[in-house]
Amino acid sequence: MGKNKKYTIIKSFRKSCSITVERDGTVTIRAPFFMSEKKINKIIEERKEWIEKAQKRIANRTERLNSLTPITSDEIDSLKATAKPIIEKKVRFFADEMGVKYGKITIRNQKTRYGSCTAKGNLNFNCLIMLMPEEIIDYVIVHELCHIKEMNHSHRFWKEVESILPDYKERRKWLKQNGNILIERMVKGQNL
């Protein structure tokens, strides 16, 4: 392992070179033992623009995270209690509309997902969805109920979602653009 100014170079038994921008903005280059430093520097130079963009994205994310108001453990507990009856009512409504049967409903505070569906039809929802607009809550619920019919994200799955929520693409876009901010606020609150 070596240092090259702003980069950490790790040589190992591999066939190709890879570049990773870590969560703290540092850059790690993994290269084969036989690759010369000159060749590694050439690859770094060729990927310089990509590296700088990735570092800027990480810096912006860090800045945004630092400006977020954390969600405390007490707030999480309150969200869980509030979520259960609301989500259960919405699941019943959409399940009846879709003609599907589901198992147990669980409310959690997950760090990576807003909902999930098991092979047995048990549904798990992130309590943070209660901080989202109602149409997004509905989208998460419908998405998971559709997994009871299609346990994948195939074309048939998305057609099923669309049959219930014709505007699902806009809802999905909102979730992709805004959802992880809530998770970041929760993580920040847990790290206090």
H or E stretch covering 21: strand 18-21
Residue of 106, 124, 131, 139 lying closest to 184 (CA atoms): 131
pTM over 0.75: no
Q: What fold is seen in the domain 73-190?
A: Zincin-like (3.30.2010)
Q: Give the chain's residues under pLDDT 70.
A: 1-5, 191-192
Q: What interhelical angle do 168-190 and 155-164 show, nearest 10?
A: 100
Give the pLDDT score at 191. Answer: 65
Of all residues in the chain, the percent with pLDDT exceeding 90 is: 70
Burial of 162 per CB tally in 10 Å (0-12, 13-18, 19+): middle
Q: What is the pLDDT of residues 58-101, one digit of tens each?
A: 888 778 777 778 888 888 889 999 999 999 999 999 999 999 99
Q: What's the mean pLDDT when you consider all of the chain?
A: 89
Q: Which two tokens stand for residue 58?
A: 């990480």
Domain boundaries, the chain: 2-67, 73-190
Helices (H) and strands (E) in the chain, counts: 6, 7
